Amino acid sequence: MSIRLVVVDGHTLIRYALRHLVEQQGDIEIVGECAFAAEAEPLVTRARPDVVTVDVSLPDSSGMALARDLRDRFGSLGIVLLTSQGEDDVLFRALETGVSAFVPKTAPLVEILAAIRHAAVAASSFTAAGLAGALSRRRAAGDGVALSPREREVLRLLQEDLSVPAIARALFVSPSTAKTYVARLYEKLGASSRAQALMTALRLGLIEHRPVPPAAGAGTAGAGTAGPRSAGPGSAGPGSAGPRSAAPRSAAPRPAGAGTAGAGTAGAGSPARGPDPGQKTPGSSAAVRARYPT
């Protein structure tokens, strides 16, 4: 009795390649294929396959989420995740999802066929070619990582977002030597990218989180910026008319000579003089007699 297989993959070329591969096998037959996650569950319900291959990245959804839904709904279904991402964290996410096998698309054809056959007879167990190495790297990270002074310096430069050529210039080494330093650091941390290396180093306490500092001067009045006006004495600058009146001032310019008492504008420290209709103009005879009575 042959293994009934459904293929769920957004790439037409991958579906064609799998169909061509399976046609050469006497114990496997494709009973359905689709490109979208929304079509997968109805197809599985209708075709009743023994195994389904699912691409991790589908056009309309995550293949990981689809695999979890299929596992919840079809407990005895064999599920093989095909991926172009070989990172350890993707492998462990697949393991936690409950799939039967995890296979990179770059794997040999015999490995892909073996994963399909394994899923058909042991749907609830998990197999992956790189599982032993991934577990070893995770164990090494959990036990602590001893970095050399040079590796710690490379880690610090990676945290500062320097490129490999910039790291080479900072360490006064060739770019190939700097690339080797980075590769060795990734290997010790069980990482395959800068982001993974920094996250692992942060979790292990090898580096400290650096919060983004607030923008300079945010929320404060800078030098030369006019703050709130003081209502107390002494706030009036040179040439002002003393303490400010509480009445609102007009923003319109005052015509020359309009409403003033002549050329005698009050200087610094002089008391503010309000308009007095009865005030005598300085220089007139009536004003002189008023100030100096005979």
Task: Find, among 68, 60, 129, the residue nearest to 94 by Cα.
Answer: 68
CA dist 67 and 80 (Å) reads: 9
Please spell the DSSP secondary structure of the chain, one letter per residue: -PEEEEEE-S-HHHHHHHHHHHHT-SSEEEEEEESSHHHHHHHHHHH--SEEEEESB-SSSBHHHHHHHHHHH-TT-EEEEEES---HHHHHHHHHHT-SEEEETTS-HHHHHHHHHHHHH-TTS-EETTHHHHHHHHHHHHH-----HHHHHHHHHHHTT--HHHHHHHHTS-HHHHHHHHHHHHHHHT-SSHHHHHHHHHHTTSS---PPPPPTTTTSPPTT---PPP-STT-S-TTS-SSPPSSPPP-SPPPTTTT--SS----TTPPP----TTPPPTTSHHHHHHHS--
By the 8 A CB rule, do 81 and 56 touch? yes
Mean pLDDT of the chain, nearest integer: 76
By the 8 A CB rule, do 266 and 241 touch? yes
Residue 184 banded pLDDT, cuts 50, 70, 90: confident
pLDDT tens per residue across span 14-67: 999 999 999 999 999 999 999 999 999 999 999 999 999 999 989 998 899 999
What was the pLDDT predicted at 245?
43
What was the pLDDT predicted at 143?
57
Interval 233-254 mean pLDDT? 44
pLDDT tens per residue across span 57-95: 899 988 999 999 999 999 999 999 998 876 777 888 888
* 3-131: CATH architecture: 3-Layer(aba) Sandwich (3.40)
Task: Find, among 89, 65, 104, the residue nearest to 141 by Cα.
Answer: 89
Domain-wise residue ranges, the chain? 3-131, 144-203
CA dist 21 and 118 (Å) reads: 17
Q: Which of 19-33, 66-80, 202-216, 260-274 has the lowest mean pLDDT?
A: 260-274
Q: Residue 251: is its pLDDT beyond 50? A: no
CA dist 252 and 248 (Å) reads: 12
By the 8 A CB rule, do 26 and 17 touch? no
Q: Residue 244: is its pLDDT beyond 60? A: no
pTM comes to 0.50
State how far the alpha carbon of 144 is from the alpha carbons of 180, 194, 197, 205, 238, in Å.
22, 19, 14, 9, 69
What was the pLDDT predicted at 141?
60
By the 8 A CB rule, do 118 and 100 touch? yes
Class of domain 144-203: mainly alpha
Residue 293 or residue 19, greater confidence: 19
